[in-house]
Amino acid sequence: RKPEHEAQLAELKVEPFELVVVNLYPFADTVMSGATPDECIEQIDIGGPSMVRAAAKNHPSVAVVTSPDRYASVLDAVRSGGFTLAQRKELAAEAFFHTATYDTHVASWMGNAYVDTSAGTGFPAWIGGTWDKASVLRYGENPHQRAALYTNGSQPSGPALAQARVLHGKEMSYNNYVDADAAVRAAYDHGDQPCVAVIKHANPCGIAVATEAEGIAEAHRKAHECDPVSAFGGIIATNRPVTLEMAEQVKDIFTEVVVAPAFDADALAVLTQKKNVRLVECPAPSRGGVETRPIAGGMLMQSRDVLDAPGDDVDGWRLVCGDAADEDTLRDLQFAWRAVRAVKSNAILLAAEAASVGIGMGQVNRVDSCRLAVSRAGERAAGSVAASDAFFPFADGLQILLDAGVRAVVAPGGSVRDAEVIAAAEAAGVTMYFTGTRHFAH
């Protein structure tokens, strides 16, 4: 870059060069393969990143290439007489992106897997991440907001919603991604049972499961019936391939997105006749792990709620009043308990025959959530079961459910007025279980 540099090259008898091509040791792939710590350490490249960084810094004179995807453009540049300065600047930026991602992989592994820097908390002393822009979206949550989709480049964990394939329809919007993320998560909350979740504004309009013999179409039918008015313009997610029978049901419903692990060929033939519906092929999400939320000046991190607390197993529930539930009632209670996790707090979910029939979500007091769930269920409230994501602070909210004819309730318990709540359920002759586990969702 400078005359004295050229003098040093001449003095040391070093020939100048214009192109550096480096492939770094495959550290991340080695870690993901399950290799031993020693094998992983052996794949930490030292000289490679040094060469890349030096060449990128010297980009006014040198082009640096770090990806085989660039080899074709290298050949084109050589044939045309070399890289322009603008091209070398772009390559230099890519090179620093590449080494930053590589260093993040190494530092994250060292501070998480190789040595515990969390002081026993499970949260490391340092976290880092890199994100690659996948697409620019039309707009954000509202038309005046700009938005883009980025994929996680620092912690490769396999394809997920951000990498999902849109098989048909318009490009996904910001709100589509938000709702689809909630829908996919809800659809995989019920183990191996065929499940469908219908989501609007990140809240369920309906969730249902079916037996393998009934199939995914039956799960969709029941989920849609919960609140067909709210399902208009919603997002549908399944944990099974979409079948022709389900597609025939969906085709007459205005739906923004259908997300599924696969679509049968005859189902695609039916649904692709709808010009605007987005058909998204998305693999099953990974369970567990952590989730983050930005706040002003920082970020919150917590382990993801995957319904794995002791109180999420029905064997850990405590019968606090009424007769022990029979097999069918217990199955509905267990479904309701798992389904209410997907509902924004304060959350009440009424269920019957392994399907939601009334959902009260996002209210700032539990009484209003109970009223909303009952009003949406209508006549279906009588004989249903109820799940509450947190304890009843008073008996008033529960009383609304009892007056509507709910026959069994599952809730965390833990209120200072639990005795009052239990007494109300007992007076109504209703079965009530406490789980000792809460499922707030904000």
List active site positions: 57, 201
Contacts 24+ apart (CB under 8 A), 410-413: 410/317, 410/333, 410/336, 410/337, 410/385, 410/386, 410/434, 410/435, 411/387, 411/435, 412/311, 412/388, 412/436, 412/437, 412/438, 412/439, 413/318, 413/320
Q: How far is CA 37 from CA 23, 40, 111, 408, in A?
A: 22, 5, 13, 52
3-state secondary structure of 104: helix
**Are 433 and 412 contacting, i.e. CB atoms less than 8 angstroms apart?**
no
Separation between Cα atoms, residue 35 and residue 431, nearest integer Å: 52
Sign of CA dihedral 66, 68, 73, 75: positive
Distance of CA 400 to the CA centre of its chain: 34
The C-alpha atoms of residue 439 and residue 347 are separated, in whole angstroms, by 9
